Amino acid sequence: MNPVRLGLIGDIHAQMGRLDQVLDHLAAGPRLTGVLLVGDVSRDPPWMLRGQRDDDQRASFAGVVDHITARLGCPVLFVPGNHDPRDIPLPGNVDGRLQQLESIRIFGIGGAGPARFGFPYEWSEAQIEALEVPSCDLLLVHCPPFGTPIDALDHGRGHAGSRAIRAIAERHPGVLVCGHIHEAAGFATLGDCLCVNVGALGEPYGRACVGELVVTADPEGLRWQVVLTELATGSVREASHPIARPS
């Protein structure tokens, strides 16, 4: 199989200036197979921005996706985040759906929990535990797994991820891509699953950051190489992960 190249973009929160920096970076590299968005794409919810309606939020989300598609000319797959409306009627929405991009099977879990703050898309651990997650290669998830470096709050304030998402990751022989906790970009390995928090363009802790994931076949199955880049500093972090799946 030819290499599959995926751009990974974290919580955008309609920060178009930083998004354009990220798109410039991705456009300068090899052609992408697709782009994955981890959620919190649109402007903040109506109760946070006086006078904004749910329809405005959906339009904001669609505008960001259209902008990325126009710049990069490749499919954009996404899950809504806790700041986004749950029902985003665009073909790239993989929340609760299995979709194939080239040879890569992607399943999405949007929203966040278990804490409830009144955001548009929140859930309980029991709701996630009840999900039927199909066999796939990549989990595209907004909320990170609990108790890892990628759900750690700043200043040692604890962890804000999901135990139910962690249980799913521990059973998943593949890769999990998430966001939500803006300050916790990086990697964690749970069982046979490489988990990646891409970081955030939106505040707080917003910066121009981007992930790139390349999937190649070898005799044992698939090999995944993930690079996280902070554009302002040039800082680069990398991780690789083999998956024993017939290629």
pLDDT digits (tens, 9 = 90+) for 59-68: 899 999 999 9
pLDDT at 148: 98
Q: Which one-letter DSSP state was computed for residue 86?
A: S
pLDDT confidence bin for 1, thresholds 50/70/90: confident
Tell me the per-residue pLDDT of 8-22, one tens digit each, with 9 for 90 and over. Answer: 999 999 999 999 999
**Listed ranges 54-58, 82-86, 216-220; the one with the highest mean pLDDT:** 82-86
Tell me the per-residue pLDDT of 18-50, one tens digit each, with 9 for 90 and over. Answer: 999 999 999 999 999 999 999 999 987 654 544
pLDDT at 245: 59
Six-digit token pair at 219?
């005799």
pLDDT confidence bin for 52, thresholds 50/70/90: low
pLDDT at 65: 98
How many structural domains are present in the chain? 1
Which residues face 175 on adjacent strands?
A: 138, 194
> In the predicted model, what is the mean pLDDT of residues 94-117?
96
pLDDT at 243: 73
Mean pLDDT of the chain: 93
d(CA 224, CA 83): 30
Nearest to 112, CA basis, from 207, 221, 203, 197: 197
Tell me the per-residue pLDDT of 121-136, one tens digit each, with 9 for 90 and over. Answer: 999 999 999 999 999 9
> In the predicted model, what is the mean pLDDT of residues 215-229?
90
Tell me the per-residue pLDDT of 144-182, one tens digit each, with 9 for 90 and over. Answer: 999 999 999 999 999 999 999 999 999 999 999 999 999
- Domain containing 65 equals 4-243
Read off the CATH number of the domain in which 239 is found.
3.60.21.10
d(CA 222, CA 103): 10
Tell me the per-residue pLDDT of 81-100, one tens digit each, with 9 for 90 and over. Answer: 999 999 999 999 999 999 99
pLDDT at 218: 77
**CA–CA distances in Å: residue 91 to residues 7, 66, 143:** 18, 12, 21
pLDDT at 220: 75
